[in-house]
Amino acid sequence: MTTTTPITAPVQAPDDRRSTGTHAGRTKSELLSLYLAISPFYILFAIFGLFPIGFSLYLSFQNWDGIGPMKFVGLAQYQFMLSDPIFWKSIVNTFQIWFISTIPMLFFALVIAFMLNQQIRGRSAYRIAYFIPNVTSIVAIAIIFGSIFSNNFGLLNAALEGMHLDTVEWLNTPWGIKIAIAAMVIWRWTGYNAIIYLAGLQAIPTELYEAARVDGASLWQVFFRITVPLLRPIILFTVITSTIGGMQLFTEPQVLVGNGGGPGSEGSTMVLYLYQQAFINNQFGYGAAIGWGLFVIMILFSLINWRLVQGAGNRGSRKGVRA
C-alpha cells in the first residue's frame, strides 16, 4: 500500500519591498512624534543650559561691563585672576568653611540615620523633623542665625554672659564669621544627608545586625564595623555632593555678612566673590573667568575626595578580610 503526499501550493512570499517600505515609513512617523514630544526639554536645556555655558566661556576672554561693546583681551582675565589676592583668599575661605562644616555634618547625619533606623517610636515624625531645615528658606535661616551670632544682642553672647564668660564678636572676627556660616550649613544639610544614609541603611541585611548582637557586639561596634563599611558608596556620594555644594556657598555668607564678605573679606567665598565682581563691580568678563576657575577647582577637589574615600574604603576592606 502506497501513500501519497498531498501536494500543497507554494506559499507566495509577501512583497518585501512594499512591506519594508511601509514599516520604515511608519517607524519614521512614530520616531518623529516621539522626538517632538521630548523636544521641549532639549530646546529649553539648549537655551538655558548649553548657551549660558558657552557664552560664559566666550565672555571670559572679553572685557565687558554689561552695557558697552565687548573688548577681546585673550587670557588677560585669567592672568589677573591668578595674581588676584582676594580671589585666593576666597578660595582659602571656602575650603576652611567646607572643612569645619562638612566633616561634622556628615558624621552627625550618619549617627542620626543610624539611630532612626532602630526600632523607636515616632520614627516618621523624627524623619520629617530632621528634613524640615532643608526645605526652609535659606534667607530666613540666615536672618535667624544672624540674630544668634549678633555681636551686641546675639543669643549666643547672651548665653555666654549668663555663664559669666567673655562675649565674642562673631561677625567681626575671621573664625567667628566662618563658624557662623558653617553652623548654618550644618543645620540645613544634616537632615538631608541623614535621609540619604537612612535609605542606604535599609538596604543592609538585618541578619548582619542580628549576628553581631548574638556575638555580643556593642552599639558602637556595630556602627563602626558593619554600618560604616557597608555604607561606603553612599558616603562617597554624600562627600562628592557636599564638596560641590560647599564650593558653591553663596546665600549664607551674603545674607549674614554682606556682598563684601564682612570685615577683611573673611566670609567671602568663591561664588560670592564672583557675584561681587560681575554684578556689583560690573566686571562680567572677570566674573566669567572666576566661574571657570571655580569649575576646575571643584573637579580637582571632587577627584581628590573620591580617591581619599575610595582608598580608605579599600584599606578597611582588606583589614576586614584579614580579620
Q: What average pLDDT does range 31-56 have in this prediction? A: 89
* Predicted confidence (pLDDT) at residue 212 exceeds the cutoff of 70: yes
Predicted confidence band of residue 9 (pLDDT cuts 50, 70, 90) = very low
**26-30, 146-150, 290-294: least confident range:** 26-30
Q: Which three cell numbers stand for residue 215?
A: 556575638
Residue 203's pLDDT is what? 86
266 with 174: CB under 8 angstroms? yes
Q: Which three cell numbers stand for residue 235?
A: 558616603
pLDDT in tens, 81-107: 999 999 999 999 999 999 999 999 999
Dihedral (Cα; 145, 149, 150, 153), 10-degree rounding: 100
Task: Count other C-beta atoms under 10 Å from residue 254's C-beta.
Answer: 22
Alpha-carbon distance of 224 to 146, in angstroms, equals 36
Q: What average pLDDT does range 180-209 have in this prediction? A: 89
Q: What average pLDDT does range 44-73 have in this prediction? A: 92
Residue 308's pLDDT is what? 76
* Predicted confidence (pLDDT) at residue 7 exceeds the cutoff of 60: no
Residue 316's pLDDT is what? 52
Q: What is the CA radius of gyration of the chain?
A: 29
pLDDT in tens, 274-303: 999 999 999 999 999 999 999 999 888 888
**To which H or E segment does residue 269 belong?**
none
* Predicted confidence (pLDDT) at residue 17 exceeds the cutoff of 50: no
**27-36, 115-124, 313-322: least confident range:** 313-322
Residue 168's pLDDT is what? 87
pLDDT in tens, 230-251: 888 898 889 888 988 888 899 8
* Predicted confidence (pLDDT) at residue 115 exceeds the cutoff of 70: yes
Ordered domains of the chain (ranges, CATH): 33-75 (no CATH), 84-321 (1.10.3720.10)
Alpha-carbon distance of 88 to 72, in angstroms, equals 25
What letter represents residue 62's amino acid?
Q
**15-24, 186-195, 210-219, 253-262: least confident range:** 15-24
Alpha-carbon distance of 145 to 185, in angstroms, equals 11
* Predicted confidence (pLDDT) at residue 272 exceeds the cutoff of 90: yes
Return the bridge partners of 72, or none.
Answer: 62
Q: Which residue has the higher pLDDT, 216 or 50?
A: 50
3-state SS, one letter per residue, for 228-247: HHHCHHHHHHHHHHHHHHHH
For residue 226, what is the DSSP state? Answer: I
Residue 318's pLDDT is what? 55
What letter represents residue 299's amino acid?
I
Assign 7 to helix, strand or coil: coil
**181-185, 192-196, 211-215: least confident range:** 211-215
Please provide residue 71's backbone torsions phi and psi, each rounded to the nearest 5 degrees.
-125, 120
Q: Which three cell numbers stand for residue 234?
A: 553612599
Alpha-carbon distance of 60 to 112, in angstroms, equals 44
- Pick from 234, 210, 219: which is nearest to 110 by CA? 234
Predicted confidence band of residue 153 (pLDDT cuts 50, 70, 90) = confident
Q: What average pLDDT does range 210-230 have in this prediction? A: 83
Please provide residue 171's backbone torsions phi and psi, each rounded to the nearest 5 degrees.
-95, 10
* Predicted confidence (pLDDT) at residue 58 exceeds the cutoff of 90: yes
Residue 146's pLDDT is what? 86
* Predicted confidence (pLDDT) at residue 113 exceeds the cutoff of 50: yes
Residue 220's pLDDT is what? 81
Mean pLDDT for the chain? 84
